[in-house]
Structure 1
């Protein structure tokens, strides 16, 4: 089916590694979804061995780390996350909504091919602290 309505797509909770939700669409070679994270939430630091990812911010702001770079992303920003790049983020404000595309399609879920670094807790604590500081200054 080539046409979809966002309102008709099933919402799935990303409980495996982050407290968000997404509405997936899978094709032959790629998968995509509208992903929503609520205030203060975000993914655990992780990487994808076989998947690359594009993120287009539709609504809200997030503090995001990709590799060694960190910054605030907001509506209109596009982020490319190469295969193997460590990434994680925290939502600033009430919520952040993003359109995420990954390739290859795999089984069609956005929560596949996830690997965690040994220092994930330290990275997460740093991101939490940065999100607190940025939210306090907003």
Structure 2
């Protein structure tokens, strides 16, 4: 729903349940007209991971608030804990897997109000998430 309000209210956002957790988009070009960035939250359930994907039209920054994860970025694996942030360049394939018994909760930022994710789990699928 598009409004002229530049503020994303506490309960607002587009909640997207997934097989591995949940995304909640707070600021997008659809929700806040003219937004040139995307901001949201990501929850990954213990032992789960999101699919291998890349973003052809923007870079992403993921900031871990709570929980731990291993993050595959290209050919490298990184361990992320609360307070860690990772920059994911445009077109680099990546995924995150939650480690331990606590869900991963992260803030996610994209350098575009419109972001495209290309899935590399099922070759050729493109989706906006």
Question: TM tier, shorter chain?
Answer: 0.7 to 0.9
Q: CA RMSD, aligned part only? A: 2.0
TM-score (norm 2): 0.75
Structure ranking higher in helix proportion: 1
Structure ranking higher in strand proportion: 2
Q: What CA distance in whole angstroms lies between the structure 2 residues aligned with 1:10 and 1:3?
A: 11
Q: What CA distance in whole angstroms lies between the structure 1 residues aligned with 2:14 and 2:69?
A: 21
Q: What CA distance in whole angstroms lies between the structure 2 residues aligned with 1:19 and 1:84?
A: 22
Distance 1:114 1:3, change over 3 A: closer
Aligned length in residues = 111
Q: CA deviation at 1:69?
A: 1.4
Alignment match, 1:79: 86
* Post-superposition CA distance 1:65-119 (Å, at most 9, x none): 111210210110010000001101110122000000012111xxxxx522233xx
Unpaired segments of 5 or more residues in structure 2? 123-129
TM-score (norm 1): 0.71
